[in-house]
A and B are shown apart, each in its own frame.
Chain A
Amino acid sequence: MASPSNNPPLLEVKNLRVEFPTRRGTLLAVDDVSFDIAPGEVLGVVGESGAGKSLTGNAIIGLLEPPGRIAGGEVKLEGRRIDNLPYEEMRKIRGHRIGAIFQDPLTSLNPLYSIGRQLVETIQTHLPLSASQARKRALDLLKEVGIPGAENRIDHYPHQFSGGMRQRVVIALALCAGPRLIVADEPTTALDVSIQAQIIALLKKLCREHQTAVMLVTHDMGVIAETADRVAVMYAGRIAEIGPVRDVVKQAKHPYTKGLMGSIPSLGVRHDKLTQIDGAMPRLTEIPTGCAFNPRCTFRGSRCLSERPDLMSAGASRAACWLHDRGGVGAPIPSDGAKELVDA
C-alpha cells in the first residue's frame, strides 16, 4: 500500500463549510472540515446519520442538492481548485477524474436502458472513443468487476441483475473513465451482508490495481476497519478524530470514537452488554456551545462547555478534544449519573 505521507495529496479539503438556508435561519451542516487524500489511499469517513459525511462527499463531487451550498473553504483535486468551477467544467470532472458510487444499486441504474448502453454513454462522454471501442472497454470493465458471462450480460437491463451484480455494474460505471478518486457513499448498506464483503473486496482490489483513491463514506466501522488506510470520524458536521485506521480503532483518542468502537460487537470476545453512547447527536439547530459532543461526554469539563476544540495532535491521530490539550478539559462538571472520570 502506498505510504500516504510521502506523496502530494490527490484531494485537499480545507475548511469546508456546507450550509442550508432555511426559513428559520441558516444551518451549518458541514462545519470547517479539512482533510487530505493521497493518491491510492482509502479514507474512511464514519459517523451517525446526519453527521455531515454524505454532504461532504456530495460537496466534493459538486452535487449538493439545493438549497444546500458550499459556504466556505476549498476543495482541490490534483492541486486544482474544483469547488468553485462552473457546472459544465465540474461535469467534465465528475465521472472522469472523480467517480461516485451511491448507496442503493437497485435505484442507481436507469431501468430503461441496458447496462451496456449506460456504460458506453458514460465512456463516450469522457473519452474520445468510437462506439465499438467504447463497447469493448465496457465489456472489459464488466469482466473486471466480475460479471460472469459479460458478453451476454452487457445487453441486459438492470432488472435482470441481482443487487450485488448491480452494485458491480455501478462500480464499473464509476471506473469508466479511469478516475483518480472514487467517492463511495454507503456502497454496501443496501446489500446482504454476504454480498457486502464481496463488494468491499472488489472495490479494494480495483482501487489498488488502478491506483485509485477512495473516500469511503459509511456508518459501518467493520467495513472501515477492513478497507481503509485512514479514517475520519465525523460528529455534528465536524471531524471529531482523524488518523490511521489502526490507531483510531485500537486507541481512540476522542471520547465519541471510543463510544463508537465500544458499540461494535467483535467475535471471540464475550460481551455481556455492548456499550452505548447515551443521548443522541444534536440537531443542527441545537448544537451546543463549546464541544458539540459535551452533553453526551463522560469526560466533560468546564472548558468543554465554553470553548470549541479544534483538531489537535494525539499520538498518530488528531482529535478535536480538550483531553489532548495541555490545558485539559477544565474543572469536571458533575452531572446526574456522572460516571467516574477516567484519564485517557
Chain B
Amino acid sequence: MIAFILRRMLQSIAVLVAVGLVAFSLFRYVGDPINAMVGQDTSMEDRAALREKLGLNDSPPVQFLRFISNAARGNFGLSYRTSEPVSRMIFERIPATLELAFCAAIFVLFVGVPMGVYTGLYPKHWSSRLLQTVSLLGVSLPPFLLGILLILVFAVMLHWLPSFGRGETVQIGWWTTNFLTLSGLKALILPSITLGLFQLTLIMRLVRSEMLEVMRTDYIKFARARGLSNRAINFGHALKNTLVPVITVMGLQLGTLIAFAIVTETVFAWPGVGQLFLQSVQFSDIPVMAAYLLLIALLFVVINLVVDLLYFVVDPRLRSQGGAAKVAGH
C-alpha cells in the first residue's frame, strides 16, 4: 500500500511537471510580455535591458527550470496587469472560490445522493419519475441561464437573496470567510445552487443506476433473507456498495466545481479565482494564467490521490496484497 501511494505520488509529480510545461509555454508563445509591460515610447535599449533583467534571453530549458523551481516555492512572479505578486492575488481570491465550491459540493452530496438512493429504491414511484424528469432539466440547463433565472426570481422579484458579491466576510488570518455572517451565508445560496445543480443531477443519476444494480445482487437478497431491517439493507449494505464509483465521480466533480466556477463567478460577480482568471485572459496577464493553470492541476492531482486512498477505506478487497484484488478459489 505504501508502494502504491509512492507510485501515485510520482505520477502526480509527472502530471504537474507536464502542466508546468504547458503553463511555461504560455510565456513564450502567447505574445511578447515586454510589449504588454512597457509603453509605446519605450526605447529598444530599455526593452532589451528589461528583457535581460527578466531572464528572457536565457535558453528555454533554463527558463523552464527556473519557472518550475519558483513555482514549487509558490512564486509565480508579478502580475503584468497590477504588478502585484501573483501568489498574493491568488491567495486573496482562493477562499471565495473554495468556499463556493465547498458549498456546492455539500449541496450535491446531501441532496444528490439521497435523491439517487430514493429513486433507486423506488424506481416506479411517481415521485421518482418526477425527479428523473426534473433532473433531465438540470442536466440540460446551462449554468449561466440557471444563475440568471435564480437571480430574477429570488433577488429581483422576491428580494430574498443578494444577486451578486460575497456579502460581508470575516477575515481569519489570510483567509476571508463567508460562513460567519448572515449576509455571507445568504450570498452563498444562489451561486452554490447554480454551480452544483448540473453535478447534482449527474450524481443522482449515477447513484440511482448503481443502486438499481446493487439491489439486484445476491447479497442484498441474502441480507433480506437474514431478516435485516430495510434501513440496514438500504444504507448499510446497498449504499456502501455503490460508493466506489460515486467517490470517483464526486472527486472529479469537486475538481470541476473549483476549476469551472468561472461562469458562476462571472454571473454572480463572485470575487474568486475564476473571475481573476477571466480578467487576466482579457489583459494577457500570463503569470496569473500560468499560476491558475498549475493551481487547478495541483487540485485535481491531490483530489485524485485522496480518491484513490478512499477506495482502500471502502473496499477491503483492495486492501489485501498491495491492491491486488484476488478472489480465492476453493
Given A122-B227, A157-B316; A112-B330 close (CB under 8 Å): no
Scan residues 222-256 of chain B and give those whose CB is less than 8 A from a CB of chain A: 222-230, 232, 236-237, 240-241
Given A102-B222, A107-B217, A111-B219; A159-B316 close (CB under 8 Å): yes
The interface-forming segment of A161-169, A272-280, A333-341 is A161-169
A residues less than 8 Å from B224 (CB atoms): 63, 91, 94
Scan residues 312-330 of chain B and give those whose CB is less than 8 A from a CB of chain A: 314-317, 320, 325-330
A173 within 8 A of B: yes
B241 touches A94 (CB 8 A): no
- Specify the chain B residue showing the minimal Cβ separation from A164: B330
What is the CB-to-nearest-CB distance from B187 to chain A, in angstroms, rounded to a whole number? 40
B residues less than 8 Å from A163 (CB atoms): 329-330
A176 within 8 A of B: yes
The residue among B236, B240, B325, B330 with the most chain A CB atoms within 10 A of its own CB is B330
Chain B interface size range: 20 to 34
What is the CB-to-nearest-CB distance from A176 to chain B, in angstroms, rounded to a whole number? 7
A173 touches B329 (CB 8 A): no
Secondary structure type dominating chain B contacts: helix
The residue among A99, A160, A177, A191 with the most chain B CB atoms within 10 A of its own CB is A160
A residues less than 8 Å from B219 (CB atoms): 107-111
A206 within 8 A of B: no
Given A125-B228, A161-B328, A195-B330; A112-B222 close (CB under 8 Å): no
- Specify the chain B residue showing the minimal Cβ separation from A117: B236
What is the CB-to-nearest-CB distance from B51 to chain A, in angstroms, rounded to a whole number? 61
- Looking at the complex, which one of A94, A111, A170 makes contact with B227 (CB distance below 8 Å)? A94
Given A157-B316, A159-B326, A195-B330; A61-B218 close (CB under 8 Å): no
Interchain CA distance A173-B325 in the complex, whole Å: 25
A residues less than 8 Å from B159 (CB atoms): none
B226 touches A159 (CB 8 A): no
Scan residues 113-132 of chain A and give those whose CB is less than 8 A from a CB of chain B: 113-114, 121-122, 125-126
A residues less than 8 Å from B329 (CB atoms): 162-163
B241 touches A112 (CB 8 A): yes
- Looking at the complex, which one of B221, B228, B232 makes contact with A63 (CB distance below 8 Å)? B221
A109 touches B222 (CB 8 A): yes
What is the CB-to-nearest-CB distance from B177 to chain A, in angstroms, rounded to a whole number? 37
Interchain CA distance A103-B222 in the complex, whole Å: 10
Scan residues 19-77 of chain A and give those whose CB is less than 8 A from a CB of chain B: 61, 63
The residue among B225, B327, B328 with the most chain A CB atoms within 10 A of its own CB is B225
Taken residue by residue from 111 to 143, chain B's Cβ proximity to chain A (1 for < 8 Å, 0 otherwise) reads as: 000000000000000000000000000000000
- Looking at the complex, which one of B222, B314, B316, B330 makes contact with A170 (CB distance below 8 Å)? B222
What is the CB-to-nearest-CB distance from B238 to chain A, in angstroms, rounded to a whole number? 9
A residues less than 8 Å from B223 (CB atoms): 110
Interchain CA distance A23-B314 in the complex, whole Å: 42
What is the CB-to-nearest-CB distance from A242 to chain B, in angstroms, rounded to a whole number? 25
B222 touches A100 (CB 8 A): yes
A160 touches B228 (CB 8 A): no
B237 touches A159 (CB 8 A): no
B330 touches A192 (CB 8 A): yes
B314 touches A122 (CB 8 A): no
Taken residue by residue from 291 to 330, chain B's Cβ proximity to chain A (1 for < 8 Å, 0 otherwise) reads as: 0000000000000000000000011110010000111111
A residues less than 8 Å from B229 (CB atoms): 91, 125
- Specify the chain B residue showing the minimal Cβ separation from A87: B230
A243 within 8 A of B: no
A178 within 8 A of B: no
What is the CB-to-nearest-CB distance from B321 to chain A, in angstroms, rounded to a whole number? 10
9 A-B Cβ contacts within 8 A? Answer: A92-B227, A100-B226, A103-B218, A109-B222, A110-B237, A112-B240, A125-B228, A157-B320, A176-B226
For the complex of A and B, the 6 pairs showing the least CB-CB separation, nearest first, are A95-B227, A100-B225, A107-B218, A94-B227, A157-B316, A95-B226
